[in-house]
Amino acid sequence: MSLAVCVDLGSTFTKALLVALVDGDAGPAGTVLASASHPTTLPDASGSGDLLDGYDACLAALGTQHAFDPAADDVVVLACSSAGGGLRIGVLGNEALVTAEAGRRVALSSGGRVVAVHALAQDGTDARALAVARPDVVLLTGGTDGGNPTPLVEGARLLAALARDGWDGAVVVAGNADAAPEAAAVLDAAGLAHRTADNVVPRIGVLAPASARSRVRELFLAHVIGGRRLSRRPELTRLLRGATPDLVLDGVALLADVEGDVVVVDVGGATTDVYSATEVDPEHASREVVARTRLNRTVEGDLGMRWSAPSTVTAADDAGVAGDAALVAAAQRRADHPGLLPETPEDEATDLRIAEVAVRTAVRRHAGRFVDRDRTDGGGTDLRETALLVGSGGVLRHAGADRSRAVLRAATGEAGAGPGGWLVPAAPRLGLDASSVLAAVGLLTGGHPEVARCLVRSLADGLAT
């Protein structure tokens, strides 16, 4: 292989990069040779249109910049997707503060939006609200290895009952290893697609997400994408490697290997995602029922630039924002017309003001507040030592490095060690992923790790300081 086409089939735009896999005349391995984007093409109500139409348009645009044959033996095409609403994950656990919380964290790190969390011990066996949330995949947890086998099997029976009532999602069984075979048999009898993973909480104080993340990725590719009928072309499942946020998190992890503690904020039309890769304090982790992990992601469904612009303004801590009638009206206009593009300097300034609120609020929620030396409130990922804060998303890419840096700065500088202090980045470098490189890094990490490392170094070298 000498070239890779890395494609992100996004909810709004499809983006593609052409990357050199070997050293050549155009540059060393890891060089971005061409880039392209096109509005994502989804089937309409009549079934006309295809997700891969936008992909074809990107291929054509890449070809005008750098001649290549995408069907050639020396070209590999790798894709990820958040189209059609992305991956919706539900969590079914036993204890709200143990296995359900562990499942929620693992689900977020698996590239999905958590749409429902149900804890049997607290919420009982009536899980109709879980089915109403329409999860594509349910992460079934419960019990430590060698512990009580009942909760995991009871959870499987509950999902089987939902299937009889019409829910047709898939399940990852990631609880007590001794009970997993019986739980899987219950799901199999109900006709539910499922995979078995290692227990996400093998013992109290340990969180082991890797196996469950891998199984969620498998089900996303085999069950979710195909089930949505986003494309009639069989090559879609061959091209896809996973959900976009899942691959971006892999890219963030590699960026952190190069730069130290990293936070990435991706501001979208409907959600604002925050990714972090930070060193975990072993002493602090040892005091937690569900241990913190190095990689974390949160999805704020009420913070965004279009569909959720009104709730973004409402969520602002600054009363001057939430009480600004003109801004409230502008946010509503964006929700009513999600395809709106800024046409005037005033439109751009309004977009940046909404983006600033989304970034500041999302980072605060991800970090949480300081309570005492043993506890944090909220997201609870201490970001004070963050070396690099990177912005992503169309509004920031359109704004450029200088203006996006001003937006990102709103999420910094308020770190505190006293009660109530936000554990946000204190004084990070600020940068912009202007070419959506992190998704490409994640796509390349599995089969071409050295190229991925070269690409992430190029990103780090090119970030604003």
Neighbours of 124 (CB within 10 A): 10
Q: Give the strands of the sheet with 75-81, arranged side by side.
A: 32-39, 13-20, 3-9, 75-81, 240-243
pLDDT of residue 379: 56
Work out the pLDDT band at 97, boundaries 50, 70, 90.
confident
pLDDT of residue 465: 44
% of the chain exceeding 70 in pLDDT = 93
* Among 155, 141, 143, 133, CA closest to 89: 133
Superfamily holding 86-227: Flavodoxin domain (3.40.50.360)
| Average confidence (pLDDT) over 259-277 | 94
pTM comes to 0.87
Q: Is residue 112 scored above 90 in pLDDT? A: no
Give the CA angle between residues 175, 156, 113 to the nearest 5°: 70
User: Within 13 Å and on the Cβ side, how many CA atoms surround 461?
Assistant: 8
Taking the alpha carbons at both ends of the chain, their separation in whole angstroms is 34
Work out the pLDDT band at 116, boundaries 50, 70, 90.
very high
Q: Per-residue pLDDT tens for 214-247?
A: 999 999 888 877 666 788 898 998 899 999 999 9
List all residues 6 or more positions away from 178 whose beta carbon is below 8 Å from its beta carbon: 145, 146, 149
pLDDT of residue 377: 55
Q: With contact defined as beta carbons under 8 Å apart, do 254 and 452 qualify?
A: yes
Q: Per-residue pLDDT tens for 136-169?
A: 999 999 999 999 999 999 999 999 999 999 999 9
Instruction: Give the β-pairing of 272-277 and 295-300.
Output: antiparallel
Q: Is residue 69 scored above 70 in pLDDT? A: yes
Q: With contact defined as beta carbons under 8 Å apart, do 272 and 303 qualify?
A: yes
pLDDT of residue 11: 79
Domain ranges in the chain? 3-84+232-241, 86-227, 261-434
pLDDT of residue 270: 84
Q: Per-residue pLDDT tens for 10-29?
A: 878 899 999 999 998 888 99
Q: Per-residue pLDDT tens for 403-439?
A: 999 999 999 986 555 556 889 999 999 999 988 899 9
Neighbours of 420 (CB within 10 A): 9
CATH of 3-84+232-241, one of 1.10.20.10, 1.20.120.530, 3.30.420.40, 3.30.300.30: 3.30.420.40
